[in-house]
Structure 1
């Protein structure tokens, strides 16, 4: 089964050298499911020809804001709408979660409440998730077709579904403690408030539900109805 990874950003240089670029994180997360991958770095202007070029799609995280003026964002939104209309399975992570919401009629903003970083608990109709977060932007207005599957006090729309074939999540199931530690040490200072850095650093050993999330994502990509 071929999964198209719509890459919306590259890993920071330090992470790139030690842990790999953004698509590699998802290949590791979804190992064991016999997926093959076609990478489309849409942030560099590389797009598939059709919404059916792959069996399913995954949109990655990014340093960019969904609301920012980049040449590649309008065609990505158009592709999202075509994938959705065609009923092809689609998963979005962090920026992917946000751009899907924006493309389908919601709103994304730089959240006035600040940052969410590190191990974070989310609750919803399917129980509790504990996943690593790294974001300030978030969905603030739901699209008409969205259903909320997980939330936290900081992020009320942390996981969403759209019909039976689209699933999106704001935190990063692909980020383990090593990735978060690297971001906290090299990207957070001067950007993320010190008290959040300290709290996230203390929580690096927190057991997450990333493996459960990987199974959920794999099931959606395989076409299992939500």
Structure 2
């Protein structure tokens, strides 16, 4: 039975948490949809939890956050050290959005605000053929970000890409580390919330297009299932 440690790096705004849950709640739903027997534990950085010993975790999932990985917050460098140790140990590890960027930065990549602006709503990504993790030619997933991995680490192979987000999915050379920019844990309702939260921050046409895009289906279950299998395989 797999035991996944979810490291919560950011929190759903309080007014939405009762209806949608926390980010770890969303990931638990995603994981259990694929593997009902999976055990999940949560380490919450915003709640003051200490990082676990990277030598003692079985699998790790790092969530999204409103923070930027380059913000210099006091918890970011220790989390980067944790990532490097887990990577060296070949511990199954996945990062999503902020987690994707944090792993990339920790392992030698470059992250910054993209000139492409806000990526919100339903985004479609090309899938690298025969990557061994994600099947098919493309996946449509909800996104919510400004920052991007601009340069992938040397050890990373890009398996999901779009014109808007060239390095949207990275599979690392150790074979046990995977990260994605979009959010397979989001359902359509919460993806709409993320669009609404950009009212007045992103251009009006970008927000309107993003909201309308969510009328089309998402492949959240497909990518979420692939991530779960990646974390729980032995």
TM-score range, shorter chain: over 0.9
Range that drifts further, 214-223 or 36-45: 36-45
Corresponding position of 2:132: none
> Any residues of structure 2 matched to 1:33-72 within 5 Å, and which?
33=35, 34-72=37-75
Residue in structure 2 matching 1:183, options 189, 194, 212: 194
Q: Report if the CA contact (8 A) 2:161-2:167 is conserved.
A: yes
Q: C-alpha root-mean-square deviation of aligned residues, in Å?
A: 1.3
- How far is 1:44 from its partner? 4.1
Distance between the aligned counterparts of 1:141 and 1:49, measured in 2? 29
Corresponding position of 1:96: 99
- How far is 1:223 from its partner? 3.2
Corresponding position of 1:5: 6
> Any residues of structure 2 matched to 1:156-167 within 5 Å, and which?
156-163=166-173, 164-167=175-178
Say how many residue pairs are matched. Answer: 223
Distance between the aligned counterparts of 2:159 and 2:91, measured in 1? 20
1:86 aligns with 2:89: yes
- How far is 1:41 from its partner? 1.1
Corresponding position of 2:19: 18
Residue in structure 1 matching 2:140, options 109, 119, 130: 130
Residue in structure 1 matching 2:209, options 176, 188, 199: 199
Corresponding position of 2:221: 211
> Structure 2: which 5+ residue stretches go unaligned?
130-136
Q: Report if the CA contact (8 A) 1:165-1:223 is conserved.
A: no
Secondary structure at the aligned position of 2:140 is classed as strand
Q: Report if the CA contact (8 A) 1:116-1:135 is conserved.
A: yes
- How far is 1:115 from its partner? 0.8
Distance between the aligned counterparts of 2:208 and 2:114, measured in 1? 21
Secondary structure at the aligned position of 1:15 is classed as helix
Q: Report if the CA contact (8 A) 2:171-2:178 is conserved.
A: yes
Corresponding position of 1:30: 31
**Distance verdict in 2 for CA 1:49–1:31, change over 3 Å:** closer
TM-score by length of 1: 0.95
Distance between the aligned counterparts of 2:113 and 2:48, measured in 1? 24
Secondary structure at the aligned position of 2:84 is classed as helix
Q: Deviations over 1:29-81 (max 9, x none)?
A: 11141111111112444233411332100000000000001010000000000
> Structure 1: which 5+ residue stretches go unaligned?
none
